Structure 1
Amino acid sequence: DRSVIDEVEKILDCMQICPARPLQLALAPLLPSLRQDLAEQSAKFSKRHDIFRDTLQGSGWEVGASGAYFAIIKHPFKDVPGVEVCKQLASQCGVVLLPLANFAPPGDSAWDNWMRVSVANVGEEKLREAATRIRESGKALGYE
């Protein structure tokens, strides 16, 4: 049954992304000694979000939320599902995003045009380049 497989995939995804609770509890006493490093990481991610948002500004793409590792963005292309935009961005522009429809309950179309992009796994210049590709993707993908 495909619906069972879909739900198992969600659980496995969460297990791989989220640290185990016992590990979180064991590391909690070490957090005060990590404050400086955490502040530096926070500043680095904040700067990356600023770069990403500033590069997309005025392009029709909407940054709905940003923080920690991810930004949530909405594409401006009328009547084009986000899943399709993500496929085209990957194959034509070399930019990989995840459609938020993958995280929504079946039948919930509110997230069809929204995507998740990571700012954590790329440096500032590559992030700026990726945002520029996203910004200019309408022409490259034939949506404009």
Structure 2
Amino acid sequence: MKIAEMKQSLAGLEAVNFKLPNGTYLPAHFHVTEVGLVTKHYIDCGGVERKETVANFQLWEAGDYDHRLAPQKFLHILNLSERILGSEELNIEVEYQQDTIGKFGLAFDGTDFLLTPKQTACLAQDACGIPSNGQFALPQLQVACCTPGGGCC
């Protein structure tokens, strides 16, 4: 999901709800503690230089049970962040504390924002010798059979 899509989705909501991939909702008293611009500049295992930039939201919860983030307040936060983010066409990445900081993509189902799983991947599979179908051929094993009384065991 991109910033512009999120703004459009927020405009028609009465409440802001985030759902984890396992189907549970973040507590209604969550906070948006950060909206930032994250750039990752790296070299993949095939030697290709890459750069990715995303809008990053950090969601957090505390004992502030009376806190509720209204859609209009979230829109206000996004509008304040425009000078940092620069583009409404940035993809959104969400951080949320679990056993460790979890990173998620973001989607919208018409009612709720869905935190979607992110996966690692080898970006240079051809350079690493990984087949395009992900299937490796198993080596042929030489199996010697022993028969009772054959003396091999």
Structure whose alpha-carbon radius of gyration is higher: 2
**Scaled by the length of structure 2, what TM-score is found?**
0.26
- Structure number with greater CO (CA < 8 Å, separation at least 6) is 2
Question: Normalized per residue, which structure has more helix?
Answer: 1
Question: Normalized per residue, which structure has more strand?
Answer: 2
**Scaled by the length of structure 1, what TM-score is found?**
0.27
